[in-house]
Every structure is written in C-alpha cells, then in structure tokens.
Amino acid sequence: MNKKSTSITFDDDAPITQTDIDAGKLVLVKREAGRVVRPKMRVTLYLDAEVVERFKQQAGERGYQTLINETLKSAFHHADIEETIRKVIREELHKEAA
C-alpha cells in the first residue's frame, strides 16, 4: 500500500498567491545560524494575578510572556542538570560500595 506524501515543497522564487494564503499552505519558519527554529505554540494559561504582575514588572521592554517562556525553559534546564548530578553521585556511591 503506497501512502501519498503529505510533505509539500515550495519554490522560493515562486510568487505567493492569495489562494496559497487562504489554503493555509504557508508556514513561516524562523532561522538562526542556518537552523530552523521550532515555532511557538499558542496556549491559554491561567496564572495568578500576582504572578503575571511580577513578570510584567521584571520584563520591562521585552514582554512578560517572553520572560515566562525563558523562565520555564530555565527550570527544565536546571531540572536536567540536577538529575544528572544525582545520577553521577549514585553511580559513584555504588562504585565505592562495591
């Protein structure tokens, strides 16, 4: 059974038509250092008013939603580091016990 490819290729030099826009065929991609940056996802999130106000105060010009995003990514990074450190300590303790 052959499955039809769902990937669409576009000619970068071809003009963009209203039909393309209406059909939702266009996806804007951001590139940094030649790599495609994954797009952000729109979500609805309810936060305490004091949390939002605190982020708004800290964010200044760059926007509080950006600061919230960066804070969440930082929390993931710190959790990964903490888990790695715990794993190394357990391995070292296991070696000493053996």
Give residue 98's pLDDT band: very low, low, confident or very high (50, 70, 90).
Answer: confident
pLDDT at 11: 60
Q: How many domains, the chain?
A: 1
User: Does residue 7 fall inside a structural domain?
Assistant: no
User: Does residue 12 fall inside a structural domain?
Assistant: no
Range of the domain at 68: 18-97
Please, which contacts does 3-10 make with residues 24 or more away whose CB atoms are closer than 8 Å? none
User: Does residue 10 fall inside a structural domain?
Assistant: no
The residues, any chain, with a CB within 8 Å of residue 68's CB and separated by 6 or more, are 55
User: Does residue 11 fall inside a structural domain?
Assistant: no
Task: Record the pTM.
Answer: 0.51
For the chain, count helices (H), then strands (E).
3, 2
Per-residue CA distances from 80 to 18, 46, 63, 67, 89 (Å):
45, 26, 26, 20, 14
57-66 pLDDT, tens per residue?
999 888 999 8
User: Does residue 1 fall inside a structural domain?
Assistant: no
19-47 pLDDT, tens per residue?
777 777 666 666 677 676 677 788 899 99
User: Does residue 58 fall inside a structural domain?
Assistant: yes
Report how far Cα 80 is from the mean position of its chain's Cα atoms: 16
